[in-house]
């Protein structure tokens, strides 16, 4: 027998407990008839990992369950999810409304890239359903919102927007990254599309970059999956495998981080050099009542605040925070700090940032799972 390449998988009557990582790009099939039946969906079988692979499917199924959805697709990043959500639902000549407070790259996609493809866009305030109504045109096809916005933590009038868009036959897409399915399941409220950056809280360890997108309509789900394969933005197997591991501890991590975030927000509000604190369930939050009703009294793991001072004050503060990472991300197991002016919202003009309340002194905190008292003391010491 000549030596063959590709060893046989060892037999075993037992099964692995942890999901195996399956990095194979391609799958061998019995014959051409079988391949036909796989492509036609008559037989279930993987063909080529850009078209789908088991690790992505495992993750998609887990998030489907969390979102009370079916048929979600795992893509290569949160931005891939935003892109697939929009491009699967609209075409050149359509009009898209985006919330004026979105993740910076989502704003860039709406303001710079979609118009280049013949898709006109308008940004409007999602906390005011009348502002959304005013932005609607006869060719409006989709509205994109984040329920709790990045980084100002404003709470969109999601119910008002869904009801308005239903009457007008317009799709509502919700980026649920900040709220997570723990605080909100947009499909249950009547949204048409839900998406996530899985890079953040759901995976939770800053070592996997992935996104997830799903629609209420199975046909739209199918188009999302096809577009993902065609554009080549399928999530990688290793990242999906890491994300699956993170998902199992999501509930515990989120609960711990949210409880600490609520306490941290109150502690920050007492400090003299903190001008204002933004946390959805605090009574001084501009959308307090809506936040409490919508999010079941929980505020999530994100806290933003404004330091009394400019860049120098921000630099001294982040240096004084020692081992806490000053890093443009969120949702890590550890607390991270970010400065939207120099990171996520750097592409906006100063005026555009000022209009939504992002100043040089603005800091966004993604609260992690540290011991709460230690964390709060670290902030107090750095700010004193």
Ligand X SMILES: Cc1ncc(COP(=O)(O)O)c(C=O)c1O
Name which position in 67, 125, 146, 239 contacts ligand X (CB under 6 A). 146
Q: CA quadruple 310, 321, 102, 264: dihedral positive or negative?
A: negative
The verdict on 77 binding ligand X (CB under 6 A) reads yes
Nearer to ligand X, 104 or 309 (CB): 104
Does 302 bind ligand X (CB under 6 A)? Our answer is no
Residues within window 163-202 making contact with ligand X, judged by CB under 6 A: 175, 177-178, 197, 199
157 interacts with ligand X by CB under 6 A? no
The torsion region of residue 45 among left (phi > 0), alpha (psi -120 to 50) and beta comes to: beta
With CB under 6 A as the contact rule, which of the stretches 39-47, 60-68, 78-86, 364-372 interacts with ligand X?
78-86
Closer residue to ligand X in complex, CB, 267/367: 367
Name the strands in the sheet holding 120-124, side by side, starting at the edge strand that comes first in the sequence.
73-75, 211-215, 193-197, 171-175, 140-146, 95-99, 120-124
| 244 makes contact with ligand X (CB under 6 A) | no
**Residue 182 annotated as catalytic:** no
Among 105, 141, 154, 200, the active-site one is: 200
Q: Which residue in the set 186, 211, 361, 372 belongs to the binding site for ligand X (CB under 6 A)?
A: 211
Q: Does residue 234 interact with ligand X by CB under 6 A?
A: no
Distances from the Cα of 256 to the Cαs of 146, 153, 244, 332, in angstroms? 23, 19, 20, 12
* Cross-strand pairs, 366: 302, 336
150 touching ligand X, by CB under 6 A: yes
| Buried b or exposed e, range 38-47, using 16+ CB within 10 angstroms | beeeeeeebe
Task: Please say if 200 is a catalytic residue.
Answer: yes
Annotated catalytic sites, by residue?
Answer: 50, 103, 175, 200
**Binding footprint of ligand X on the chain (CB under 6 A):** 77-79, 82, 103, 146, 150, 175, 177-178, 197, 199, 209, 211
């Amino acid at each position: 027998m000549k030596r063959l390449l590709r060893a046989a998988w060892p037999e075993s009557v037992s099964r692995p407990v942890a999901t195996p990582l399956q990095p194979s790009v391609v799958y061998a099939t019995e014959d051409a008839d079988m391949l036909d039946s796989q492509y036609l969906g008559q037989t279930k079988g993987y063909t080529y990992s850009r078209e789908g692979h088991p690790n992505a499917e495992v993750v998609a199924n887990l998030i489907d369950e969390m979102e009370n959805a079916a048929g979600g697709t795992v893509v290569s990043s949160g931005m891939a999810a935003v892109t697939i959500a929009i491009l699967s639902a609209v075409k050149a000549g359509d009009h898209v409304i985006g919330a004026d407070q979105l993740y910076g790259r989502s704003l860039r996609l709406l303001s710079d890239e979609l118009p280049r493809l013949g898709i006109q866009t308008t940004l409007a305030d999602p906390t005011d359903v009348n502002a959304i109504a005013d932005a609607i045109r006869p060719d409006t096809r989709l509205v994109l919102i984040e329920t709790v916005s990045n980084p100002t933590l404003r709470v969109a009038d999601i119910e008002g927007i869904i009801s308005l868009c239903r009457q007008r036959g317009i799709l509502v897409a919700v980026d649920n990254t900040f709220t997570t399915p723990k605080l909100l399941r947009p499909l249950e409220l009547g949204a048409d599309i839900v998406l996530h950056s899985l890079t953040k809280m759901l995976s939770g360890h800053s070592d996997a970059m992935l996104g997830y997108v799903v629609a209420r309509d199975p046909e739209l789900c199918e188009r999302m999956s096809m577009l993902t394969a065609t554009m080549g933005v399928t999530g990688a197997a290793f990242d999906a495998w890491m994300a699956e591991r993170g998902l199992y501890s999501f509930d515990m991590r989120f609960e711990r981080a949210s409880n600490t975030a609520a306490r941290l927000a109150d502690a920050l509000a007492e400090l003299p050099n903190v001008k204002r604190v933004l946390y959805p369930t605090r009574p001084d939050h501009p959308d307090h009542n809506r936040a409490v009703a919508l999010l079941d009294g929980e505020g999530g793991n994100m806290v933003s605040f404004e330091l009394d001072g400019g860049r120098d004050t921000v630099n001294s503060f982040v240096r004084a925070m020692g081992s806490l990472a000053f890093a443009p991300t969120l949702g890590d197991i550890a607390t991270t700090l970010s400065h939207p002016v120099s990171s996520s919202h750097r592409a906006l003009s100063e005026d555009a940032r000022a209009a939504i309340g992002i100043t040089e002194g603005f800091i966004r905190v993604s609260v992690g799972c540290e011991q709460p008292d230690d964390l709060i003391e670290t902030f107090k010491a750095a700010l004193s």
